[in-house]
Structure 1
């Protein structure tokens, strides 16, 4: 018998922002592909209460997102009022107010069996209001920053604890995150570890020399064919620690180059940092890299350096390993659940000196790409969906 899931996620791809929350999309698609769950996603889009004509430029793509998309997973994009920098503690209520009429209408047309939230905040407390209104069980997933950042905000934590008390299941992307949740007095007996997935057909090992030639042949990307290549992938925001990767580069031999794939508000500051350190010729800002180009880029790198301040268990870690690229990451989230052998990479403190030392050790003792890729063998979106379906069937 097919069951129906209503999933609430503030992070989800849409026209104009195709890479925004792609990992949530892949999870939902994989669950729907099993055939025993029909999935409907509500992706609330936050916009300031201003006429379109005077919206700040960065909100223009959001204003253009269609209200609904159809496919294997039906997706709705209702708008909610967002006050940037001000409405954080009220966002669960603002989201629920925008979502609840739509959820009631969809439930009346074809009843749901379960409501879930794809992030603990603001999605979790908002989904709790929806589940309570519809009289349905509730599951909430934690992914990292939703626990580590919002868990330090008293008003948000109070809402998270209330939602967790109502929930029938809580999910964490790593064992380390599950322990952090329990430390916040979220009910430990409800928490299940639910690891991320991986597109195994896309992320595969490509021999490094061939990968560099392939990537360099693409317009706008010029990678060195000689020397060592480091790669950093992610949004250019302070929490990702890209500045630390640039500073570490300055402690490495001149033959080492750093490519940075991603866009964000920090780009100008990072470019200025590279220039000030005399590293402009060794730092390649690639901008946003399409998902279709990412596997070859990962395979081209000798190591991926991601000195994030916080993560749960980053998809980027697993994607790099699947392409045979070892990682240099801090001891955060599920890092030790991933870097469990020398071939996988190194865990380093978030200092330029420690990052540089870890990179130098890897470059001096490079693991075979096949040995690195073996560490990602247990991850797939099919396994992710099977585990999720098992948790959800148990509470419905």
Structure 2
């Protein structure tokens, strides 16, 4: 007796790693890898990249995009990177159309090569989700769009993108939020409740695991009492400047305190200047971006992890830190209370200021949870529930599509 064929999922997102940007959008890849590991799904990835002419390193991220291969095989998954035109100044408004036009031929080639996918699974509502909605309409395929944070808590502040996001939400058979707060946005837009699904990100408990703190510190050449850690892209909304301000407030009470900020980005010089201004530069380390596979050592070395963001959907770094046994202090925003939902995990900060973070850091330092208990809390956030929820959703959409096709063409047999 023949086995039923696997669900065929076309994953569509600009937030997907590549050989030249291996840490970019790794959470999308991780969710897909966990889904494929169920043995019930096969997938191809279409990850569009803006066209850029030069690979000269002077152009930074744009040069990396130019060096991205047209196709590659990553962790057992075939990925194509079609180019699309992103014009200066008007690019934000035209990006969905450009992305759709750039990706359409790549999707058609997948079909021509025999990958007749059951569903388009898009990540990030704008511009990716809007472009995916155009693709779904063109190829007559069901669509799911996953909202991840700024796509619904920032971009809708702009009128035209908001209208396009609302159109895509109406066209999608399902919207997925990595936290409940993101789905509340779509509820306010009267998107039908049966199309709204919360599927939180999990944490890779094998990759992010505790190592003895002293061992981790020695291997990284770190010291501090306490040792504070912040990880993320160096931009204003990640709040690294608030971690520096908090450090300045803590030093009179904890003169051996040290802050490590792991990451790269345009705010690096401003952060260093702020540390100099506040007189804490000698207590600050900025080792740059680190491979995702090595972050467990940095988390394990820290006493407390700080996330002072102004906006987050579902912050993976919080779970990564907890999985390494390190409690967190984070801004009380959007999906973060759904992550830091128990005192053993850490503290939430309602007022986004350096002083407020310093207060909560002091309170946590006075009553530090056992690191083994922090790890145990994180173990409740495996990927299993999200994988099963995806299988049910994609299976239902595929069955509905096949039923409609058979109703229109009674003699058709699924391949």
- TM-score, normalised relative to structure 1: 0.94
What displacement does 1:178 show?
1.7
* Distance in 2 of aligned mates of 1:169 and 1:107: 23
Which position in structure 2 is the counterpart of 1:260?
261
Which position in structure 2 is the counterpart of 1:361?
363
* Distance in 2 of aligned mates of 1:180 and 1:286: 37
* Unaligned ranges ≥5, structure 1: 217-222
* Distance in 1 of aligned mates of 2:56 and 2:361: 49
199, 218, 238: which one aligns with 1:194: 199
Which position in structure 2 is the counterpart of 1:236?
234
CA contact (8 A) 1:96 1:126 kept: yes
Q: How does 1:250-289 map to 2 (within 5 A)?
A: 250-253=248-251, 254-289=255-290
CA contact (8 A) 2:235 2:265 kept: yes
* Distance in 1 of aligned mates of 2:338 and 2:353: 22
* Distance in 1 of aligned mates of 2:138 and 2:30: 28
Which position in structure 1 is the counterpart of 2:316?
315
Q: Is 1:303 aligned to residue 273 of structure 2?
A: no
Which has the higher Rg, Structure 1 or Structure 2?
2
Aligned length: 388
1:16-35 C-alpha deviation (Å, 9 max, x unpaired):
21100111111112222222
* Distance in 1 of aligned mates of 2:308 and 2:193: 29
Q: Is 1:215 aligned to residue 213 of structure 2?
A: no
CA contact (8 A) 1:338 1:375 kept: no
1:69-95 C-alpha deviation (Å, 9 max, x unpaired):
125211000111123453111111010
101, 108, 112: which one aligns with 2:112: 108
Find the residue that maps to 1:378 and give its secondary structure.
helix
Runs of 4+ that moved beyond 6 A: none
* Distance in 1 of aligned mates of 2:60 and 2:141: 39
Find the residue that maps to 1:281 and give its secondary structure.
helix
Find the residue that maps to 2:286 and give its secondary structure.
strand
- TM-score, normalised relative to structure 2: 0.90
Structure 1 residues 288, 353: closer, same or farther in 2, change over 3 A? same
Structure 1 residues 327, 57: closer, same or farther in 2, change over 3 A? closer
CA contact (8 A) 1:121 1:160 kept: yes
RMSD across aligned positions (CA) = 1.7
Q: How does 1:162-177 map to 2 (within 5 A)?
A: 162-177=167-182
Which position in structure 1 is the counterpart of 2:97?
93
CA contact (8 A) 2:7 2:394 kept: no
* Distance in 1 of aligned mates of 2:306 and 2:24: 21
1:261-318 C-alpha deviation (Å, 9 max, x unpaired):
0000110111111111111101100101112221111011111111101011111011
